[in-house]
Amino acid sequence: MATEEKIDLKTAFALFKDEKHIDRPVMMGVLRDVFNTQLTKTFGSADNFDVIINVDKGDCEIYQNLEVVEEVENPNTQISLEKLQEMGEDDYELGETFTRKVELKDFGRRGILNIRQNLQGRIMDIEKANLYNKYTEKVGQLFTGEIYQTWSKEVLILDEEGNELRLPKSEQIPGEHFKKNDTVRAIIKSVEMKNNTTPYIVLSRTSNEFLMKLFEQEVPEIYDGLITIKKVVRVPGERAKVAVESYDDRIDPIGACIGVKGSRIMGIVRELRNENIDVLQWTSNTQLLIQRALNPAKISSIDLGTSPEDKIKVFMLPEEVKKGIGKGGCNIRLASLLVGREIEVWREVPKAENDDDEEDVLLSEFTNEIEPWIIERLQSIGCDTAKSVLALDPQDIANRADLEDETVDEVMDILRAEFEE
């Protein structure tokens, strides 16, 4: 082939070998494929062509095998003995095979353009597939990268090879703000192929797995398998509960996770933008697990119900209810996720108080006047009687039970009317 043609091919080889990191067998197969495709388009068939690729030289030679005949019926597969003699090739006889070298110019301008475009397309397809496979194998692993660009709905991060990874707003911890050149840590959550475009690699800082990986990184005993994380539940940016278990009686799993003077846990808390993290010891005893999950609130009694589908009722004294439920109901919600069943906090009226409040009425008695879902919201914050609701500040009830101010006022009026009668 001409020198200019060889330069074009060397560029193609470089794209494969050096920039795209595609191995030799794949590279040769693709190049042979591309040329065979164009041979078929130009000559009708590639069956009588030999494509010889020299990877080291960055060169490609193509030979056309023609049958020597007396009268040519198909010029793409045959050549006449007379024409060979005109070419000075006198050593051939009928029925033999004449081999000629095909120059790149034989494909024509359009054919050469097709080869280049096809080759570029195949390089891109293989690059996408390699990138997809590479990151699919890394799903669930920690990733550290530098932010290249920020938008309102996501952040763009580049890896060492310049590949793009995305951190959507939904996967960022609430309140986080990033700027260009910031270093960010996240877990590789998923890899998606959309409409044959470049793989869409999604990172996450809100997933439970991200918190688990941070613990593995900060706590050697977890990394070595001496301590196991049994379960993680979290409300990103607010609070998390991590249940751990030690396989060695000599190792305190909670102490190991927290570290001397909180040295280990504080690094994780800072990474999570001051998210509160409760580390507790795992147990298969549901009642004990609930007690540990709701700590420091003291529980008077627990009713597990008669079946796994029943809601768990936890009874607490009035002064313990707020601690058990937590800010915005976060603590009770996480405890429910940890146990795998919905937990309701019920306000237990002390005996002395009960004697004075004989006229108190259960909220369940007001279903004709108050919507059942509103009663359930009130019960979820520990208010199961009329007076337990009236004893609280209306604004506090609205915030904790997630009710409108008007709704709370209406409920208060209904309950007060009960005692006025």
DSSP summary character for residue 417: H
84 and 151 in a common domain: no
Last residue of a domain, one of 117, 134, 151: 134
CA 288 to chain centre: 33
CATH (domain of 78): 3.30.1480
> Is residue 97 in some structural domain?
yes
> Is residue 212 in some structural domain?
no
Supply the pLDDT for residue 4: 42
> Is residue 269 in some structural domain?
no
Last residue of a domain, one of 85, 103, 134: 134
d(CA 87, CA 306): 99
167 and 45 in a common domain: no
| Rounded (10°) CA dihedral 101, 104, 106, 111 | 140
> Is residue 91 in some structural domain?
yes
380 and 307 in a common domain: no
> Is residue 273 in some structural domain?
no
Single out the residue of 74, 67, 16, 25 nearest to residue 45, CA to CA.
Answer: 74
d(CA 64, CA 97): 10
289 and 339 in a common domain: yes
Single out the residue of 46, 192, 184 nearest to residue 111, CA to CA.
Answer: 46
Last residue of a domain, one of 134, 162, 197: 134
> Is residue 261 in some structural domain?
no
336 and 367 in a common domain: no
CATH (domain of 146): 2.40.50.140
> Is residue 69 in some structural domain?
yes
> Is residue 412 in some structural domain?
yes
Q: What angle do CA 202, 203, 205 make, to 5 degrees?
A: 145
d(CA 359, CA 336): 33
401 and 322 in a common domain: no
Average pLDDT per run of 10 along the chain, which is 421 residues long? 45 54 74 88 90 75 90 90 87 90 85 84 84 93 94 92 92 93 94 83 96 95 94 94 91 92 93 93 92 90 85 87 87 93 80 53 85 86 82 82 89 84 56
Supply the pLDDT for residue 7: 33
**Is residue 138 a contact partner of residue 188, using CB atoms and an 8 Å limit?**
yes
CATH (domain of 386): 1.10.150
143 and 130 in a common domain: no
142 and 129 in a common domain: no
312 and 340 in a common domain: yes
User: What is the token pair recorded at 123?
Assistant: 């390089």
How many domains is the chain built from? 4
Residue located via tokens 């058990």: 324
**Is residue 233 a contact partner of residue 208, using CB atoms and an 8 Å limit?**
yes
Give the domain range for residue 403.
353-420
Supply the pLDDT for residue 381: 79
102 and 25 in a common domain: yes
User: What is the token pair recorded at 271?
Assistant: 């990474």
322 and 397 in a common domain: no
171 and 114 in a common domain: no
Supply the pLDDT for residue 9: 55
